[in-house]
Structure 1
Amino acid sequence: MLRDVLLKTLRDQRRSYAAWCLSVVLLVAMYVALWPSIRDQPSMQDFLDQMPQALRNLLATSGADMSTPVGYIQVEFLSFMGPILVILYAVLAGSGAVAGEEDRRTLDLLLATPVARSRIVVDKAVAMVLGALGLTTLLGVALLLEGTFVGLDLPAGKVAAAMLHLALLGLVFGALSLLVGAATGRLALSRGVPAFVAVVAYVVNGLGGLVSWLEPFQKLSPFFQYAGHDPLHAGVSWLGVTVAVATVAVLVVGGALAFERRDVAS
């Protein structure tokens, strides 16, 4: 039996991860293929401009110009579908770390190894981090390479910045999923809680600039740390990165402590 939980987790996930990677490449290809038919359609930008401000804030990055490659990717991919994809991956990885092992009745075998409970949680978290970073790296590479075939020219450095922020967005909710699963052992709860928090955080960020009583909470939203600094135009926001990394670290440590103290049913 493998004593290295990290290597075991990566080995166990290799097939499903390959499916995720293939899905990312195909999804990017679909959006890239649509670019030639959209770039010469001013009606698309007119439609975006005519949206109510509240709806525009929720569904598109403020100020995005659909007639440019950067604006197109912001609106069509990085405002909604990209975050959903990465958050879904991270939450599934986080929920499977402890709660998933309990649900599959394999946790006893894992705990029988001479590895501390906290180490199990940390190794599972590292596997989640590596997976999310690998997925967003592939996503960025796919955007750059596939985009060259249709004139969707994107700045490589800014794409890398956006992918870093996107990975951290997913990891915040993945770490929350891991924490809930480690604390409760309930798979449904470890998926439901992050999903609910993600919806609330998305709405708070989208409406924070329009609704006065939401404004103080906007900068607390992980979606603000992801897109509030517009990394596809401005590059990396190190403040946003620091906040996201600190949030993930706190949630993982909380999960490790909770798992150490919890009685695990046989």
Structure 2
Amino acid sequence: MWFKSVFLKSLRDYRVAILGWGIGMGLVIVSPMASVSELVKTPEARAALLSLAASFSWNADAVKADTIGGYATFKIGIFIFLMAVWPILAGSRMLRGEEDRASLDVLLSAPQGRVRVALEKLAATWAALFAMAVLIGILAYLGGVVFKADFTLVDALLFGLNLALICAVFGAVALFISQFTHERGPAAGWTAGLLLIFIVL
């Protein structure tokens, strides 16, 4: 069944990335919750936490930094965008990488057009990002339950979805740039540069 369509084959190839990035980023989000759960028990501690977060506003906006969820989001800051590395690499090699490995000719030898192949591979990437978002959301929610955070499962899933959508944008940019390069490396490099500019600005 996995090999009956480009979509399923591509999604199967992404299974390690889905589990690795999904679980890994989920644990990255949960880890600050453990340290902050003891720091928000008194009004004085909350005030001190807000003051500390305000002094690091260059890292991320301190939104509700006196709560477990808010502090975890603030603590992670720009490092959450590390997840964009995978879609950048996946997008740059989605078509250009297949051409480099001469495997695109094999795909196109089947009775399906170029557009369908491209759309199915793109859909598989989006599905993989969505699966990562679900894993991240579930792990964040479970961490919130353990450390008595004040956000719901829907909040956690929306956080994961928001992150996945941002990553999808950079993956699409990498795919677009790769159509104007001879190799996938420059496309990934240019997109990573745009990501860096996005983070700095």
TM above 0.5, yes or no, is yes
Q: Kindly report the root-mean-square deviation, in angstroms, between the aligned alpha carbons of the 2 structures.
A: 2.4
Among 51, 54, 77, which residue is 1:46 paired with?
A: 51
Which residue number in structure 2 is paired with residue 211 of structure 1?
A: none
Measured against aligned partners, the alpha-carbon deviations of 1:127-147 in whole angstroms (never above 9, x if no partner) come to 111111111121111111122
Displacement of 1:125: 0.9
Where do residues 195-210 of structure 1 align in structure 2 (5 Å cutoff)? 195-204=192-201
Runs of 4+ in 1 over 6 A off after TM superposition: none
Displacement of 1:21 in angstroms is 3.1
Q: Could you tell me which of 121, 136, 158 is aligned with 1:161?
A: 158
Q: How many residues align?
A: 196
CA distance in 1, matches of 2:120, 2:147: 41
Q: 1:83 is aligned with what amino acid?
A: F
Which deviates more from structure 2 when the two are superposed, residues 168-177 or residues 111-120?
111-120
Q: Structure 2: which 5+ residue stretches go unaligned?
A: none
**Alpha carbons 1:32, 1:143 under 8 Å: kept:** no
Partner of 1:98: 95
TM-score (norm 1): 0.65
Counterpart in 2 of 1:81? 79
C-alpha contact (below 8 Å) 2:23/2:139 kept by paired residues = no
Q: Which residue of 1 aligns with 2:12?
A: 11
Mapping 1:105-184, distance limit 5 Å = 105-184=102-181
Q: Is the alpha carbon distance of 1:21 and 1:132 closer, same or farther for their aligned partners in structure 2, counting shifts above 3 Å?
A: same
Q: Which residue of 2 aligns with 1:20?
A: 21
Q: Is the 8 A contact 2:170 2:191 kept in 1?
A: yes
Deviations 1:15-74 (A, max 9, x none): 3333333323432342332232443555443222234xxxx2x4112x523221232133
Report the CA distance shift for 1:44/1:3 in structure 2 as closer, same or farther (over 3 A): same
- What is the CA deviation profile of residues 213-257 of structure 1, one whole-angstrom value per residue up to 9, with x for unaligned ones? xxxxxxxxxxxxxxxxxxxxxxxxxxxxxxxxxxxxxxxxxxxxx
Q: Structure 2 counterpart of 1:11, which letter?
A: R
Change (3 A) 1:70 1:147: closer
Specify every segment of 5 or more residues in structure 1 that has no aligned partner in the other structure, as ranges: 205-266
- Highest RCO, 1 vs 2 (Cα 8 Å, sep ≥ 6): 2
Aligned to 1:194: 191
Query: AA paired with 2:151?
Result: L
Instruction: Report the AA paired with residue 60 of structure 1.
Output: A
User: Cα offset for 1:2?
Assistant: 4.0
Report the residue type matching 1:132 in the other structure: L
How far off its partner does 1:81 sit?
2.6
- Is 1:65 matched with 2:64? yes
Cα distance in 1 between the residues matched to 2:95 and 2:38:
46
In structure 2, the residue corresponding to 1:114 is in which secondary structure? coil
> Percent of pairs identical after alignment?
26
Is the contact made by 1:94 and 1:178 (CA closer than 8 Å) also made in structure 2? yes
Q: Tell me the SS of whatever aligns to 2:179.
A: helix
Say if 1:140 and 1:160, in contact at 8 Å, map to a contact too: yes
Matched residues in 2 for 1:191 and 1:24: separation?
A: 21
Taking the aligned partners of 2:199 and 2:168, their CA distance within structure 1 comes to 15
Q: Distance in 2 between matches of 1:21 and 1:127?
A: 15
